[in-house]
């Protein structure tokens, strides 16, 4: 299943705007929904993980073009066929992360395969080629 294409703009927080130099207002950022297409009406994107503890991942959830809200959600405990962890939150409404395909990532890796290291088992490591750090 392809990844949802919903996008949310995140305005800079008020405290960041207050600290900015006069005339240099920080720009809004954006996030892409990480769920599979055709999920329920709440989109989701992970912003940061505070150490992998239960409930430590901070997600932004939004509906339509409305404002996003930040929420702490625990990681999904499911393991995939190659023993990889699901990269979504518990009780997410779409398939697990290994069942969601990012079409942009596929396009980039097909057009620029030299940018992605292949491991011995044929899977992508997601890191740039070069000497193995181990």
Residues 55 and 72: beta-carbon distance below 8 Å: yes
Query: Tokens 């404002």 map to which residue?
Result: 67
* Alpha-helical regions (H) of the chain: 14-19, 103-111
Report residues of the chain scoring pLDDT below 50: 125-134
Give the integer Cα–Cα distance in Å for 32 and 40: 15
Instruction: Say what the pLDDT of residue 130 is.
Output: 40
Instruction: Say what the pLDDT of residue 66 is.
Output: 74
**CB burial class (10 A; 0-12, 13-18, 19+) of residue 92?**
buried
Instruction: Say what the pLDDT of residue 123 is.
Output: 53
Provide the whole-model pTM: 0.72
Instruction: Say what the pLDDT of residue 35 is.
Output: 96
Instruction: Say what the pLDDT of residue 67 is.
Output: 78
Instruction: Say what the pLDDT of residue 133 is.
Output: 39
Q: What tokens appear for 53 in the block?
A: 């503890």
Instruction: Say what the pLDDT of residue 63 is.
Output: 92
């Amino acid at each position: 299943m392809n990844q949802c294409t919903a996008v949310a703009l995140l305005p800079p927080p008020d405290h960041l705007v207050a600290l900015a130099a006069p005339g240099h207002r920080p720009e809004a950022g954006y996030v892409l929904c990480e769920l599979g297409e055709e999920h329920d009406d709440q989109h989701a994107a992970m912003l940061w993980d505070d150490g992998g503890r239960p409930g430590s991942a901070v997600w932004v959830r939004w509906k339509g073009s409305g404002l996003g809200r930040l929420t702490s959600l625990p990681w999904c405990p499911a393991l995939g066929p190659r023993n990889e962890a699901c990269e979504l939150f518990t009780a997410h409404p779409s398939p697990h992360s290994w069942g969601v395909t990012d079409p942009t990532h596929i396009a980039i890796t097909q057009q620029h395969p030299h940018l992605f290291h292949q491991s011995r088992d044929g899977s992508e490591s997601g890191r740039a080629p070069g000497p193995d750090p181990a």
